[in-house]
Amino acid sequence: MTGYLLRRGLMMAPLLLGAASVVFLLIHLIPGDPAQAMLGPGALPADIQALQARLGLDRPLGIQFLAFLGALLRGDLGVSIHYQDPVGSLLLERLPATAMLATATLAMALLLAVPAGVMAALRPSGAADRATAVLAAVALSLPSIWLGPLLVILFSIRLNWLPVSGADRPSSIILPAATLAFSTGALLARLLRTSLAEELGSLYVRSARARGLSRLAAALRHALRNACGPVVTTVALQVGSLLTGAILTETIFAWPGLGRLLVRAISYRDYPLVQGCVLLFAALYIGTQLLCDAVRGALDPRVAA
C-alpha cells in the first residue's frame, strides 16, 4: 500500500509542476503591462515601476519562472496587492471555511446518494429506480446559481428558518452545502446504482443469497463494498466541480472561503492573489485524487497490489 501511494504520489508531481507553470503564465497573458493593469489607469509611472520591480516583472521570463518556483518551494506565494498581506496567510485563513463546506456537502451528498442508489439497484427498472433516475437528471441540470437563490427564497425569506448568508451561525452552512450536495448526490446515486446492480449479478452475491440472505442484506454486507470502488474514483473527480461550485456558491451565500477570496481577488485585479487561489485549488484537487487512491486501496487490496 505504501509503495502504491508513493508511486501515485510521484505521478502527481509533474502535474503539480505543470499546474504551477500554467498559473505562472497566467499573469503574462494579461493584455498590456500587468503592473499597469493591477494599479489601474490612474497609476503614477513611479508606482508602476516599483510594482514591476517588486513582482520581478522587469527580469527575463526564464529567471522569473525559476524565482517563482523557488519561492513556491519555500511556501512563499508573494504579497497580495489589495490586502498587503502575504498570499499564503490569506489562503490559510480562508481554507478552513471551504474545507468545512466541502465536508458538509460530501456528507449530505452521501446521505442522499447511498440510500437512493441502493434502493434503485435492488430492483432495476422498479419504481425506486425510475424515481432516482428522474430526480438525478433534474438535480444534475440544476445550476447552483439558481438552486442557491431558490433555497434562499424558500427557507430564508418565506419560511424564515435559515440565515440568508454569512457564516455567523452554525446553521449558516446548511443552505450552501445543500446547494452543492444536490448535483453531487445525484451523480453519486447514479454511479452507485450502476456499479451495485452489476455486483448484485455476480456469483458471490448469488451464493450469499443461496445461503439465505435477503437481497438487501446481500447488497449491504457483500456487494456494497465492492461497488464503492468506481464511486470513490468519481468522488475524487467530483471534488473538482465541488471546488469550483464552491466559487459560485460561496459568492451566493457570502461564505468566507477560498472561492469568495478568488472572486474578490479577480474584481480587485489582485493577480498575485488570483494566482495563489488558482494554484491552491489545483493542488487541493490533485491531493484529493491521491487521497481517494488511498481509500480505494483500503477498500480493495487488489487495487494497491
Partner 1 sequence: MRRSGTGSAACGGSILALLLLTAAFAPWLASQPPAAQDLALRLEGPTASHPLGRDDLGRDVLSRLIWGARMSLPLGLVVVAISVLAGTLLGAAAGYAGGRTDAAISAVAELLLAFPGILLAISLVAVLGPRMSNLVVALSLIGWVGFALVSRGETLRLKRQPFLEAARSSGATGSRVVFRHLMPHLVGPVTVQAALGLGGVVMAEAGLSFLGLGVPPPSASWGGMLRDGTQNLLDAPRLAVAPGAAIFLTVLAAQLLGDGMRRRLLSGAELGAPARRFAPGSGPLRGGGGS
Among 98, 132, 172, 251, binds partner 1 (CB under 8 A): 251
Binding mask 4-23 for partner 1 (x = CB under 8 A): -----------xx-xx--xx
Name which position in 24, 182, 255, 271 contacts partner 1 (CB under 8 A).
271
Residue 224: closest CA among 140, 128, 113: 113
| Under rule CB under 8 A, residue 285 binds partner 1 | yes
Contact range with partner 1 by CB under 8 A, out of 70-78, 97-105, 170-178, 273-281: 273-281
Asked if 303 and 297 touch (Cβ cutoff 8 Å), the reply is yes
Length of the chain, please? 305
User: Would you say 161 or 214 has its CB closer to partner 1?
Assistant: 161
Give the three-state DSSP class for 79. strand
Interface stretch with partner 1, choices 68-76, 105-113, 217-225, 235-243 (CB under 8 A): 235-243
Which residues are paired to 86 by β-bridges?
Answer: 79
Cα 24 from Cα 64, distance rounded (Å): 9
Q: Specify whether the CB–CB gap between 209 and 218 falls below 8 A.
A: yes
Q: Give the residue among 163, 138, 166 at the shortest CA–CA distance from 152.
A: 163
Q: Which of 278, 290, 295, 299 touches partner 1 (CB under 8 A)?
A: 278
CB under 8 A: which stretch of 50-58, 81-89, 90-98, 143-151 binds partner 1?
143-151
Hey, what's the cell of 8?
501515485
Does the footprint of partner 1 cover residue 29 (CB under 8 A)? yes
Residue 199 contacts by C-beta under 8 Å, 6 or more apart in sequence? 205, 223, 226, 227
- Segment 40-79, which members bind partner 1 (CB under 8 A)? none
d(CA 115, CA 105): 16
Q: Which residues bind partner 1 (CB under 8 A)?
A: 15-16, 18-19, 22-23, 26-27, 29-31, 137-138, 140-146, 149-150, 152-153, 157, 164, 198, 239-245, 247-248, 251-252, 262-263, 266-267, 271, 274, 278, 281-282, 285-286
